[in-house]
């Protein structure tokens, strides 16, 4: 059964233009062509990147974060309470005043103690600045390296300057070593992001990120197998170039360098909107959707490739909406509180509110103690206790 499925899956009519056979893409005369088996290496390389990331974050990102003044945050421990823990996990993390009143009665606690317990319990699940800085520093480093490598690989390629060259001789286009490593490293990186989703910070656009990573891996895998390497390298460079500025802006945001963060965010917004809303649809999609029709009749892999690119463009529009929303906020507030192009939770604001509440509670307690101490002197001798 498996062999039957394999033969059906790799039918030439699914992957190649009419009249083209897999035998046409076999290595010959020193020319090497893409093979699906090449992609097997992306999985072990992904685990290698995860290991490199671990040591990078420990020995490079952490010291760098401390240089910026970011310290490991010590969370206040909470007193274990099975009733409150069960309510927190299965009902809501933010109970209403009625819930607090009922839980206080049930646990024989004051309402203030219940509120404090829930605030501290919420903080236990919140990522600290150090971890967020480490993640952004790793992504910034990878995107910077892969973008520089991509430019070095592509600057002398004719199809970068003449889109007609993308389809010249397709699909009998040999694989270059630079294309091989560019693809394999990029795919391995996205596999590593998928494998580390469980340990990475979970943001509001978690689902969008999962879809993006899956779409990226699927698109690169499919374009590799169908030998859309030339157009694939253009898609990758266009998408990588903006991510450098986003991750650098987030790093400076976590470090508290607001002015630098604002500047980098505006650069990121400009690069993102130009690359994703102008260059990608009017240059890349035009190249993959319109130009092939001058050479070939529409076939399955041509349709499937463009459907995936359109899914990617929908995600680009979604993130563009978030970026424009944040830019609008920054115009009215004159400041960007944090880089929220990835819809990150407003943890910092809530933590500040937590500190203010506890400070107010501490002052009220001290005032009450002082008041009791002052009243104690007004009680006649011999009547200090019952």
Helix, strand or coil, per DSSP, at residue 117: helix
- 242 and 166 inside one domain: yes
Asked, for residue 171, whether it belongs to a domain, the answer is yes
Asked whether 76 and 119 are in contact (CB, 8 A), the reply is no
Asked, for residue 200, whether it belongs to a domain, the answer is yes
Q: Out of 297, 316, 333, pick the residue that ends a domain.
A: 333
* CATH number of the domain within which 88 lies: 1.10.10.60
Q: Which pLDDT score, from 0 to 100, does residue 327 have?
A: 86
- 252 and 153 inside one domain: yes
Q: Out of 286, 303, 333, pick the residue that ends a domain.
A: 333
- 119 and 251 inside one domain: no
- 109 and 238 inside one domain: no
Asked, for residue 257, whether it belongs to a domain, the answer is yes
Q: Which pLDDT score, from 0 to 100, does residue 320 have?
A: 94
- 255 and 118 inside one domain: no
CA dist., res. 139 & res. 143, Å (int):
6
Q: Which two three-digit tokens encode residue 305?
A: 């490739």
Asked, for residue 26, whether it belongs to a domain, the answer is no
Asked, for residue 203, whether it belongs to a domain, the answer is yes
Q: Which helix (H) or strand (E) holds 139?
A: helix 129-154
- 105 and 194 inside one domain: no
Q: How far is CA 248 from CA 73, 146, 252, 263, in A?
A: 22, 15, 6, 11
Please tell me the pTM assigned to this model: 0.80
Q: 329: domain range?
A: 32-66+128-333
Q: Which pLDDT score, from 0 to 100, does residue 340 have?
A: 41
Per-residue pLDDT of the chain (386 residues; tens, 9 = 90+): 888 988 889 999 899 998 899 999 999 888 999 999 999 999 999 999 999 999 999 999 999 999 998 887 666 677 888 888 888 888 888 888 888 889 888 888 888 888 888 888 777 767 788 889 999 999 999 999 999 999 999 999 999 999 999 999 999 999 999 999 999 999 999 999 999 987 787 776 677 778 878 888 999 999 999 999 999 999 999 999 999 999 999 999 999 998 999 899 999 999 999 999 999 999 999 999 999 998 888 999 999 999 999 988 998 998 899 899 888 887 766 555 544 444 344 445 555 555 566 566 666 656 655 665 555 554 454 444 43
Domain count, the chain: 2
- DSSP for 92-105, written as a single string: -SS--HHHHHHHHH
- 51 and 182 inside one domain: yes
- 86 and 204 inside one domain: no
Q: Which helix (H) or strand (E) holds 65?
A: helix 62-67
């Amino acid at each position: 059964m498996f062999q039957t499925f394999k033969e059906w899956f790799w039918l030439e009519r699914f992957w190649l233009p009419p009249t083209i056979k897999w035998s046409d893409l076999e290595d010959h005369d020193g020319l090497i062509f893409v093979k699906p088996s090449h992609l097997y290496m992306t999985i072990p390389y992904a685990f290698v990147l995860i290991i490199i990331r671990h040591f990078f974050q420990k020995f490079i990102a952490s010291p760098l974060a401390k240089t910026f003044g970011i310290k490991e945050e010590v969370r206040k421990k909470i007193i274990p309470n099975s009733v409150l823990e069960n309510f927190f996990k299965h009902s809501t993390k933010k109970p209403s005043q009625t819930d607090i009143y009922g839980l206080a009665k049930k646990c024989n606690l004051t309402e203030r103690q219940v509120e404090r317990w829930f605030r501290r319990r919420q903080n236990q699940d919140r990522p600290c600045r150090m971890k967020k800085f480490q993640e952004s520093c790793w992504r910034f480093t990878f995107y910077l390296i892969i973008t520089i490598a991509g430019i070095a690989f592509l600057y002398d390629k004719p199809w970068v300057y003449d889109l007609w060259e993308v389809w010249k001789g397709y699909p009998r286009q040999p694989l270059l070593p630079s294309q091989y490593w560019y693809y394999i490293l990029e795919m391995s990186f996205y596999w590593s992001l998928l494998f580390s989703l469980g340990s990475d910070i979970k943001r509001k656009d978690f689902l969008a990120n999962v879809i993006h990573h899956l779409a990226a891996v699927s698109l690169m895998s499919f374009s590799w197998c169908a030998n859309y390497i030339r157009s694939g390298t253009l898609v990758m460079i266009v998408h990588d170039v903006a991510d450098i500025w986003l991750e650098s802006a987030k790093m400076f945001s976590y470090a508290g360098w607001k002015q630098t963060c604002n500047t980098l965010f505006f650069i990121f917004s400009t690069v993102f909107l130009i690359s994703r809303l102008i260059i990608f649809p009017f240059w890349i999609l035009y190249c993959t959707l319109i130009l092939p029709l001058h050479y070939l009749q529409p076939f399955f892999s041509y349709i499937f490739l463009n459907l995936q690119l359109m899914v990617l463009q929908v995600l680009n529009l979604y993130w563009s909406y978030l970026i424009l929303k944040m830019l609008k906020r920054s115009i009215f507030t004159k400041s960007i509180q944090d880089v929220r192009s990835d819809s990150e939770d407003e943890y910092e604001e809530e933590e500040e509110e937590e500190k203010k509440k506890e400070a107010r509670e501490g002052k009220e307690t001290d005032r009450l103690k002082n008041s009791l101490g002052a009243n104690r002197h007004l009680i006649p001798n011999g009547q200090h206790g019952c």
